[in-house]
C-alpha cells in the first residue's frame, strides 16, 4: 500500500490529464481532512483536490502550470496520529501503521525515496535516469525525539549557517540554529572578512595619504590611537552581528547557544556551562566551519605568538613582526601592521607568495610590500627553531636567501585552516569525511546521510564566505523540498592587499600545468587614464580566452579595486560571454572597469588605446 502521507492526484477523467491552476497550501501548513490542497482544471471541469487526512504539509511536489494525471504526487503530509489511526483498515493494518511509526516507504515515482519537485521534473528525472538535482526525500518519522524537535537544525552560525537558517525559515521551515559563541556570524563577521577589511581600509587611507606626496600634497605622520581603532573595528562587528540576531528573530528562528555534538544521525546534544539538552531533527545542515592550522614546533603557548584572530585583536603594534605563511589571510594582516608601523618579515615555505595565483599578478604586491614597508620576504624558507625570552622570540631559518636567525617582538602564524569536523562527534551521525577531515557532499550539499547537509569551509576549498553563503542557500532549499543545486562555474578569489589581487576561473598557472589551450588579452594599467590619475601604475588586467570559441575562461586583475572589478569577469564566465561581448559592452570612461573591455579588445586585436605591433 502507498504511504498515507503521500497525497496523489485521483482519477479526474479526461484524456489530456489536468493543469494545476493553484496551490492552496504552503509547506508547514496544518491541514484538516477534506481541506482543499490544489485546484485542477481538466477539459471537463475545474476541481479542488481535498486532503484525505489531517496533518502538516512537509513537501509540495507540484507547481502551478504543471500538467498532471491520476497517480501523480501532489504533496507529502506528516499525518496527525489520530487521523492515521482512523485510516487503519482491517485489510491492511500493518502497512498503514508502519508508515506512521517508522520508515517512509519508497515512493512509487522514485522507487528510492527521492521525489522530484514537479511532474515535469519527474519526467525529466525519469527520462534521464538522474535524481541528482531532486529535492530532499520525505524525512523519516518515528525516530526518538529530543528535548526539542525541529524540522531543520543548523549547526554553526557563520555565513554558511546563518544563510541556510534564514533561507529555510523563509521557505516556511521551523529552524533551530546552534552556535557555540554568544555572537552569531562565525569567522567572517567576528574574526575574519569584516574586521580585517575594516582595518585594511585604515591601511589604504594611510597609503593614499602617503601617496599624495608625489602629487605635491603632504600630510603629517598619522597619529594612531590604537584603542579608538580597536573600538571602531569592534563597533563594525557588533553592528553586523546584532543585525544578524535581529533578522533571525524576525524570521522566528530559535537560536540555541552551546557546543553541539551528534549522538545519532537524528539527534544533537548541546553542551553549555549550565548542562546539556538534546535536539532531534528531520534535517540537519552542518556549517561548523574551520580553524587555523597549528604547526608543530611553534611555541603557541607564548602570547607573542598569534594567529589571525589574535592579530585582529590589535593588542599592540609590535616593532618587528614575523609572518609565517605568505597566503592571503597573513598578507592582509601584514598590510595592516605594516601601515601601523611594524617592520614586517615574511617567510613562506613555497616558492612564492599567494600560492595558486599567477606570478605576474603577485609581483606588484611583492614590490609594494618591499617599497612601502621595507618588508623582508623570504620564499622557499622554513622557520626551524624558536627560542622564547621575555621580550622577544629568536627564530632560526632554513632558506637560500634568509638570514640564519632573527629576533621578533611578535609572530603571526597564518599557514592555512582546517575543518572543524573533528569537534562534533560526527561519527555518531555516520557522516563520511575525507582523509583531510572535509565532509563529503554532492551538488545538493547532501552528505552520505540523505537528510544531513554540509556547507562552507567544512566541505572543502576554497574556504571563502561567498562560497559558504551560496552553498547554505542550496542546502536549505533542497531540505525544504525545492529543486536546487550548487552549480557555480567559478568562485572568485580576492586578496584585499595593496594592490588588491583578484582572480576567477582558469589561471595561467593551472592552464600550463594541465595543458589547457588558452590565449590571453592583457591591459597594463599604465595606459589607463584613471589609474594614472590615482597615482598608480602597477595594475594589470589579464583575460584568458578559449582560442577556438573565444569564450572567457578566466581573469586575473591586480590593482586598486581589483576585488570589485573581478565580479564582471565572474558574471561573464557564468554567462558564457565571448571576447566580443566584453569588448563591445560600453564601459564608462574613465574607469578602471574599462581595463576589462580593453583587455578583451587586446585579445581581439581591435584595441586603439595601446599600440600592438601586427602579428605576422
Footprint on residues 279-298 left by ligand FAD (CB under 6 A):
287-290
Q: Among 63-71, 78-86, 457-465, 582-590, which window interacts with ligand FAD (CB under 6 A)?
A: 457-465
Question: 44 or 242: whose CB is closer to ligand FAD?
Answer: 242
Q: Is 421 in the site for ligand FAD (CB under 6 A)?
A: no
Contact of 573 with 489, CB cutoff 8 Å? yes
**CA 306/CA 299 separation, integer angstroms:** 10
**CA 298/CA 270 separation, integer angstroms:** 33
The conformational region for residue 316 under phi > 0 = left, psi -120 to 50 = alpha, else beta, is left
**Contacting residue, 146, 338, 456, 554, with ligand FAD by CB under 6 A:** 456
Contact of 184 with 241, CB cutoff 8 Å? yes
Min. distance of Cβ 427 from ligand FAD in angstroms?
A: 14
* Sign of torsion over alpha carbons 464, 467, 473, 478: negative
Q: Is 259 in the site for ligand FAD (CB under 6 A)?
A: yes
Within 8 A by CB and 6+ apart from 440, the residues are: 432, 433, 434, 447, 448, 459
**CA 159/CA 186 separation, integer angstroms:** 7
Footprint on residues 140-159 left by ligand FAD (CB under 6 A):
155-159
Instruction: Please count the residues of the chain.
Output: 616
**Contacting residue, 84, 125, 165, 178, with ligand FAD by CB under 6 A:** 178
**Contacting residue, 9, 60, 100, 329, with ligand FAD by CB under 6 A:** 329
Cell representation of residue 152:
531543520
Contact of 326 with 380, CB cutoff 8 Å? no
Q: Is 160 in the site for ligand FAD (CB under 6 A)?
A: yes
Min. distance of Cβ 197 from ligand FAD in angstroms?
A: 6
Min. distance of Cβ 468 from ligand FAD in angstroms?
A: 4
Question: 89 or 272: whose CB is closer to ligand FAD?
Answer: 272
Is 451 labeled as catalytic in the residue annotation? no
If you write DSSP's letter for every residue of 185-211 in order, what string do you get?
A: SHHHHHHSHHHHHHHHHHHHHHHHHHH
Within 8 A by CB and 6+ apart from 278, the residues are: 146, 147, 148, 263, 267, 268, 269, 270
Within 8 A by CB and 6+ apart from 497, the residues are: 200, 328, 331, 332, 335, 365
Q: Is 255 in the site for ligand FAD (CB under 6 A)?
A: no
Min. distance of Cβ 548 from ligand FAD in angstroms?
A: 33
**Contacting residue, 63, 97, 140, 180, with ligand FAD by CB under 6 A:** 180
DSSP state of 212: G
Q: Is 466 in the site for ligand FAD (CB under 6 A)?
A: yes
For residue 144, the tally of other CB atoms under 10 A from its CB is: 11
Min. distance of Cβ 265 from ligand FAD in angstroms?
A: 16
Residues touching ligand FAD, count (CB under 6 A) = 37
Q: Is 505 in the site for ligand FAD (CB under 6 A)?
A: no
Min. distance of Cβ 479 from ligand FAD in angstroms?
A: 16
**Contacting residue, 18, 84, 176, 188, with ligand FAD by CB under 6 A:** 188
Provide the strand spans (E) within 244-354.
254-257, 259-264, 267-272, 275-286, 290-292, 305-306, 320-324, 343-348
**Contacting residue, 308, 528, 593, 595, with ligand FAD by CB under 6 A:** 308
Min. distance of Cβ 213 from ligand FAD in angstroms?
A: 29
**Contacting residue, 109, 424, 504, 579, with ligand FAD by CB under 6 A:** 424
Residue positions annotated with a catalytic role: 589
Return residues touching ligand FAD (CB under 6 A): 155-161, 178-181, 186-188, 192-193, 196, 259-260, 287-290, 308, 329, 420, 423-424, 456-458, 463-466, 468, 496
Amino acid at each position: 500500500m502507498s504511504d498515507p502521507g503521500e497525497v496523489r492526484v485521483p482519477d479526474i477523467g479526461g484524456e489530456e490529464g489536468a493543469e494545476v491552476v493553484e496551490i492552496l497550501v504552503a509547506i508547514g501548513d496544518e491541514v484538516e481532512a477534506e481541506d482543499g490542497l490544489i485546484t485542477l482544471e481538466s477539459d471537463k471541469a475545474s476541481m479542488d483536490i481535498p486532503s484525505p487526512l489531517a496533518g502538516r504539509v512537509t513537501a509540495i511536489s507540484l507547481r502551478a502550470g504543471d500538467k498532471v494525471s491520476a497517480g501523480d504526487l501532489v504533496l507529502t503530509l506528516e499525518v496527525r496520529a489520530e487521523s492515521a489511526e482512523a485510516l487503519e483498515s482491517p485489510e491492511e493494518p500493518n502497512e498503514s501503521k508502519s508508515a506512521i511509526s517508522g520508515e517512509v516507504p519508497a515512493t512509487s515515482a522514485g522507487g528510492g525515496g527521492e521525489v522530484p519537485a514537479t511532474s515535469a521534473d519527474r519526467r525529466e528525472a525519469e527520462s534521464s535516469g538522474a535524481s541528482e538535482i531532486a529535492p530532499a526525500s520525505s524525512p523519516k518519522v518515528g525516530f526518538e525525539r529530543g528535548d526539542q524537535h525541529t524540522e531543520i537544525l543548523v549547526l554553526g552560525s557563520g555565513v554558511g549557517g546563518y544563510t541556510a537558517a534564514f533561507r529555510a525559515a523563509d521557505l516556511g521551515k521551523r529552524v533551530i540554529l546552534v552556535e557555540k559563541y554568544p555572537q552569531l556570524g562565525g569567522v567572517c563577521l567576528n574574526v575574519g572578512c569584516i574586521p580585517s577589511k575594516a582595518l585594511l581600509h585604515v591601511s589604504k587611507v594611510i597609503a593614499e595619504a602617503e601617496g599624495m606626496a608625489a602629487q605635491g600634497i603632504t600630510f603629517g605622520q598619522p597619529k594612531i590611537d590604537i584603542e579608538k581603532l580597536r573600538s571602531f573595528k569592534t563597533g563594525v562587528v557588533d553592528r553586523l552581528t546584532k543585525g544578524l540576531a535581529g533578522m533571525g528573530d524576525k524570521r522566528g528562528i530559535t537560536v540555541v547557544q552551546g557546543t553541539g555534538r551528534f549522538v545519532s544521525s537524528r539527534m544533537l546534544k548541546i553542551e553549555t556551562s549550565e548542562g546539556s539538552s538534546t535536539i532531534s531533527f528531520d534535517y540537519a545542515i552542518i556549517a561548523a566551519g574551520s580553524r587555523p592550522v597549528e604547526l608543530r614546533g611553534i611555541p603557541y603557548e607564548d602570547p607573542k605568538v598569534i594567529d589571525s584572530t589574535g592579530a585582529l585583536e590589535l593588542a599592540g603594534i609590535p616593532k618587528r613582526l614575523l609572518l609565517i605563511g605568505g597566503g592571503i589571510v597573513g598578507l592582509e594582516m601584514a598590510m595592516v601592521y605594516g601601515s601601523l608601523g611594524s617592520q614586517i618579515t615574511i617567510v613562506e615555505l613555497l616558492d612564492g607568495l599567494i600560492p595558486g595565483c599567477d606570478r605576474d599578478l603577485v609581483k606588484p604586491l611583492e614590490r609594494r610590500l618591499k617599497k612601502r614597508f621595507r618588508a623582508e620576504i623570504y620564499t622557499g624558507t622554513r622557520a626551524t627553531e624558536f627560542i622564547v625570552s621575555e621580550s622577544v622570540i629568536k627564530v632560526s631559518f632554513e632558506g637560500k636567501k634568509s638570514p640564519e636567525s632573527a629576533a621578533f617582538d611578535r609572530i603571526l602564524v597564518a599557514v592555512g585552516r582546517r575543518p572543524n569536523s573533528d569537534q562534533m562527534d560526527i561519527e555518531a551521525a555516520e557522516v563520511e569525511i575525507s582523509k583531510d577531515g572535509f565532509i563529503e557532499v554532492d551538488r545538493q550539499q547532501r552528505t552520505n546521510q540523505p537528510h544531513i547537509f554540509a556547507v562552507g569551509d567544512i566541505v572543502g576549498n576554497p574556504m571563502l564566505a561567498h562560497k559558504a553563503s551560496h552553498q547554505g542557500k542550496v542546502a536549505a532549499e533542497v531540505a525544504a523540498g525545492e529543486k536546487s543545486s550548487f552549480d557555480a562555474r567559478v568562485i572568485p578569489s580576492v586578496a584585499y592587499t595593496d594592490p588588491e589581487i583578484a582572480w576567477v576561473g582558469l589561471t595561467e598557472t593551472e592552464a600550463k600545468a594541465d595543458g589547457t589551450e588558452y590565449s590571453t588579452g592583457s591591459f597594463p594599467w599604465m595606459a589607463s587614464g584613471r589609474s594614472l590619475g590615482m597615482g598608480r601604475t602597477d595594475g594589470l588586467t589579464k583575460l584568458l580566452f578559449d582560442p577556438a570559441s573565444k569564450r572567457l575562461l578566466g581573469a586575473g586583475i591586480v590593482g586598486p579595486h581589483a576585488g570589485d572589478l573581478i565580479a564582471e569577469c565572474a558574471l561573464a564566465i557564468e554567462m558564457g560571454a565571448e571576447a566580443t561581448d566584453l569588448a563591445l559592452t560600453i564601459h564608462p570612461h574613465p574607469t578602471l572597469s574599462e581595463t576589462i573591455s580593453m583587455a578583451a579588445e587586446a585579445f581581439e586585436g581591435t584595441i586603439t588605446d595601446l599600440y600592438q605591433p601586427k602579428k605576422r
